């Protein structure tokens, strides 16, 4: 492990909204409680913050997803303010682009282009739901439609993806989609919504037993009652993420985390779905979610057994892959 972002005397991590790594190695953390973006250097030391609570320029109501583009500009989804907020590489405010985010919103980088995926909360006049991918153009301030898929049956296990899917897009415009909570394999989908190929492994959802839940609540209560309340009211299943990223070597990384204390595994495939190899992360008592690959670094959102949130940055040694 190279860097750990955690609570310190200089910065307390509020409710997690998103994270990203800039070209210079600075780590960005979206704090939904303080409605701001915390900035840490590549060693994990707090540097500064930008944005504040409000509805005006440079202000946030619900900052969530965050990413950067090839030129170092920073993009933040602010769903309650109905916009994407754009910031300069020096953390000064630039502009806003109107955008109505829905469920499962996420940024997607592909071939120097930036896309955004979401499932709008408003249904179509037909009563069906849909998921959309749009392309963001910072220079024109426009968000243009790229792909729309109408979901006619939520119980159709053969649908290409849904709002819980994690996505990537190849330079050829092929959409790579994971299944929701790892129930379905990875799928390659063309812009007509047709599944080109399925590959990868699927896993069953595993629930905590009553005894396991009580252990988690007791451990959290020993730290702070608020942690215990969050766990008691939160999800009861062991989250098995299936997050995917395309690295700059045109490999598809598929992270399927396991239950607390187990070894995390990242399967690596070619972009046409051929299995290449596996990368493992040593067992720990934490739950990991891969957020992104940035050159030779991979960023994880980490949850401890008592509900504390951290960011971990691992260095990729490609010579061993």
pLDDT tens digits for range 14-49: 999 999 999 999 999 999 999 999 999 999 999 999
**pLDDT digits 0-9 by tens, 64-77:** 999 999 999 999 99
State the average pLDDT for the chain. 88
Nearest to 168 by CA among 229, 217, 218, 106: 106
Dig out the tokens for 321 from the structure.
């892959």
Averaged pLDDT for residues 268-280: 90
Residue carrying the six token digits 């979901």? 151
For residue 115, pLDDT over 50 is answered with yes
Tokens representing 129?
A: 């739901």
Tell me the C-alpha distance between 46 and 67, whole Å. Answer: 19
The average pLDDT across 76-104 equals 96
CA distance 160 to 134: 17
**Rounded Cα gap, residues 72 and 22, in angstroms:** 7
């Amino acid at each position: 492990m190279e860097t750990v972002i955690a609570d310190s005397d200089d910065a307390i991590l509020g409710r997690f909204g998103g994270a990203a790594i800039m070209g210079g190695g600075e780590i960005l953390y979206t704090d939904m409680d303080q409605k701001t973006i915390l900035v840490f250097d590549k060693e994990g030391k707090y540097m500064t913050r930008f944005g504040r609570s409000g509805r005006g320029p440079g202000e946030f109501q619900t900052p969530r997803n965050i990413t950067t583009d090839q030129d170092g500009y920073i993009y933040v989804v602010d769903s309650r303010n109905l916009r994407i907020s754009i910031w300069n590489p020096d953390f000064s405010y630039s502009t806003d682009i109107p955008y109505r985010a829905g469920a499962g919103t996420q940024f997607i980088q592909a071939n120097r282009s930036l896309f955004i995926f979401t499932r709008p909360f408003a249904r179509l006049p037909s009563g069906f739901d849909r998921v959309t991918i749009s392309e963001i153009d910072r220079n024109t301030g426009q968000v243009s439609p790229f792909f729309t898929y109408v979901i006619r049956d939520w119980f159709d296990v053969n649908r290409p993806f849904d709002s819980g899917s994690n996505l990537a897009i190849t330079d050829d415009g092929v959409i790579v989609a994971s299944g929701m909570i790892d129930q379905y394999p990875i799928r390659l989908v063309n812009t007509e919504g047709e599944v080109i190929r399925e590959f990868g492994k699927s896993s069953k959802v595993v629930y905590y037993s009553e005894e396991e839940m009580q252990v988690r609540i007791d451990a959290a209560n020993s730290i702070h009652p608020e942690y215990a309340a969050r766990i008691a009211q939160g999800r009861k299943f062991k989250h098995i993420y299936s997050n995917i990223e395309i690295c700059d070597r045109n490999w598809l990384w598929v992270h399927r985390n396991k239950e607390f204390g187990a070894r995390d595994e990242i399967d690596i495939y070619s972009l046409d779905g051929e299995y290449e190899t596996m990368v493992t992360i040593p067992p720990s008592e934490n739950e990991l979610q891969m957020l992104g690959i940035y050159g030779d670094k991979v960023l994880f959102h980490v949850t401890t057994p008592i509900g504390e949130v951290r960011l971990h940055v691992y260095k990729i040694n490609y010579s061993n892959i």
